[in-house]
Structure 1
Amino acid sequence: MQIMKSKTLRSAMFSMVFLMLVTGALYLFVSTQEIADASQEFNDNVGKTQEFPNGAFIETAFFAAVGAAYIPIGVWATISKHTSKIPYILAIGGSMSLIILYVLSRTVDIPLVGQQDDVGFIDILSKVLQAGIIAVSAYIIVSIRRDKKLSLLA
């Protein structure tokens, strides 16, 4: 029974790390696309007294920072295995925050970037990956708590 729990927990941990790495890579990809789009827009409007869009810098930096944050947290979860809940708590908090921010950006006029009206494949994919991170991380946290309680009773 303990071996089965250990295999299940190990599989959950590797699933979460995989989801974190893929999500991080996706955000890094989006950051490069964002700056490429802004550069193209700027080049198309050269001579029309348009400045390089500040929102593009902010979005690019944001997406790059998110992508860069997901990867080390995923690596941290791998290194700590299932001895620490902290990387999983950070993964849940970060992913929930990004989902909420995404919904807000589609419903409210956010300073510097405005209200977004586009919903694309990458948007949906990232939210599905983040929901998976939340679900698997929550399972791991519950499992760690349960295992600690069982070890105290033994």
Structure 2
Amino acid sequence: MKKLHGLLLFLFTLTVAQAQTATDRKTILGILDRQTTDWNAGNTEAFMNGYWKSDSLTFVGKVGVTYGYDATLSNYKRRYPDRASMGTLKFTIIKLDFPARDVAYVIGKFHLTRPQIGDAEGHFTLLWRKIKGQWVIVSDHSS
């Protein structure tokens, strides 16, 4: 009987953990979809809602490391000053894992369709944390 209770407890725990991961996966993919929609509408500020509003946010790109939400937003606005430079964004998610509780890791590709100035594409790695019940990107490495 103890073995049966142990097995049932294990299966229950496993089911709850998988349900949580499925919910979190759906939430993160939803945020990425919303970011795509916001970007394609030309709304950089709304696109940034997926990021952690903190001075501890890190963004690693071609020019090095940027620290902080405001500096990251500033860089986006400087690099993509108009709709032509922003183009139309498409994300392709390659991998989404949960290496620890309240931590997610995403690897993907981005493609910007920009007929007037030429397309741009690359890969990204996003480190997510669930902070105060909300999933946010705490580190972005895009190249």
**Do these two structures clear the TM 0.5 threshold for a shared fold by scoring above it?**
no
Between structures 1 and 2, the one with greater helix share: 1
Question: TM-score scaled to structure 2, two decimals?
Answer: 0.37
Question: TM-score scaled to structure 1, two decimals?
Answer: 0.35
